[in-house]
Structure 1
């Protein structure tokens, strides 16, 4: 999200809804941070996601009060289409798509459990229907029929049905989506399926041979027909995958249904889904009534059942989420989750040893196991970052840079007073001072590996503790850079040090009422030319060795010795917040500083595109037997102006 023209904001939903995509908590937090806005440009390119996360985002937009223009830049599928209905105006290119369908989910238990779960899905659908009906003007029965059919609509079709208000000329999609939800959609047009790419850690394996068709010059081209050998090879590969999947399915039952297994394998028309249905029917003949005291195994989602269930179970075991008692994947090991991410999607692993099976789970295009590991590591990384006890964020200025080129900051001295504009006179262009400070981004990061051995050994700590510690280290790195500016006293663009006698920001007198008052006056009396800047100190930065005396001097209601002269108040009581920083002890335990309020031109910490958290990425390791995980942060730290800082020391 970013604010543009005053009162306007641009919001982009270019990911799945929920989990490690766009969460309701993150969305609402950033929406509230935009402040008082009157118009929102909401750009959507999403395959959908979690129903309840999406409902929360939809309600937040409707209750915000701003006029909303929705742009469907590529696809708004499933729950993303519901969010699009929050727009007062919906605009789609001709080649964009929208998809609506019934909520999905799965359940385990007896017939009553199944009926209860079906009722739950119906209730979810009844919540979604009014959003579509209000936008389109259609009845809820008409919308329900479209949901039941998994309806895909182009921009023109959305306009005709009332889901969109304007259609623009076709444009190239602005971004691809990395998602597994394409596996769950039954009627997705190929033009949209090509926009949704495998996650970056996936390495699709092509098991067929494709022979390029010769160029055709006739006016009416005829599709090239594969030769007999190619067709035979493809059919054999499909049959091999079918039989392997069926064998894996029956392997979980220890040979109890060998006759049925042989029948399913021998029948070339029996798919994995049909074999699963036959197995359930056979098991039903042997089953006894379900214990009513046993809770049903229910897990609700919006398409990616396997991945969502494994992800939630793994996050719960790592301590990042509460355990969902109805999640069928609870209590498993990393190795079991790796296997389930394959077999639950029909990928046979009966002939694989553990190392091969885990390797396949990390790289196969259908499995999202690698992405789930990335989600857990990212949770640890962000928790480590957020829990790191750093002090620089309290008083430094937060900045934003869009690239790694050197940028320039004018500082507080860039402008004088505004000139009077008499009636009928013209406004004159202002000229800033020649003094400009520079700032540039740099990248800081490390790499660690999630090995196959760690997964086989069920070493969940490798996924959590290492990223958490690296998150703390990332934040500490920025803190090191900030306090290094204070202690190294670098030169500014005027050729003089940040703290310099000519800058009138070096005080003496120690930590006492008179010493602090003298330092305060130095900052308050700073000028730009003849104009007083009237800067107030907001923070006192001290080494830990001086924390006690600083707090005693500033927070006391009376001055030292007032017990002998009652009624003598402390004139500097609470004039600044004391921040104790151990890095200052290492440099000089007797030197302390005053800093102006946060946002003042003191020291700026700039982030690439305003992202002030670390970034995590993965790729299959070549030199390591597993997944190489890279953690990095892009930031720049530089002093902006000397007038918001004062340095002093004790004797």
Structure 2
């Protein structure tokens, strides 16, 4: 088989890197025409599952005017070595106007990419990690021997990338550090020549999203693993709109007019007190409830309790229960229904006068006596 075609050279780790969804990559121009610069953020894995060299080079080419300074900021555990080498070469072609900035971590292929810049500034609390290439393959003995040859060749490419940044570094020491998977602090990276300057320390742990992938390395610092294991900071709460300005006098007038129209002017004061004139919705609900309570009390012939029930904040169901108890106790036996009472009760119907036997007898007796007297006079 042709080992170069199917092979991807990864970190020296325990398994194939998994695709990470969380990454931050952007290329943008900042500043005015006279002070224009290009900023590139590589915050995430490098390769087909994250930030590819093809995407990086194409975006940079579209933005670059050939004179503006270019700043490439890294916070990455690395990834595909060949993509890292391609980014390394793209930065190297920019010459002295290119600066790589290691904001938190440049590991594996990311360290290879960053070393392509003319100047490397590493934050005081950042790290740079170098190590052997790693891959996975299948096949017969001859196939695996070819894969081993490819790994040896890619190791030489890694050594060459680092030496292009630090030409005075002892090659034997460099190979020892690469083989041992070495995590370099900012000062150590500068001492070796892989970085030029220690910058101001910053707190950058977002946008990696790679805590699980970082554990694949053999000697990842425990402090770094613990930092990535911390839960992400919560999103800031949505801004709360300030409450609308309430016109209390308008709401009080609403209660007064509604109660007057409904004939329940005695409820104006308790409604103003109970609603506290909070807002129009609260006032409307209280008016609706007060009218229902008044109608129930009138229907039960207990209008005198309306003020008490409204002041207590009782709803219609509670009022029905109270009225039922009062009706049963009074013996009136009126039925409570939900129908609205008439505005004016109709006049009582005229009933026929019941017969009164004694009066009828007296009247007949008087009539007979009158007839007898008339006959004698004649």
TM-score between the two structures when normalised by the length of structure 2: 0.50
CA radius of gyration, larger in? 2
Higher relative helix content: 2
Higher relative strand content: 1
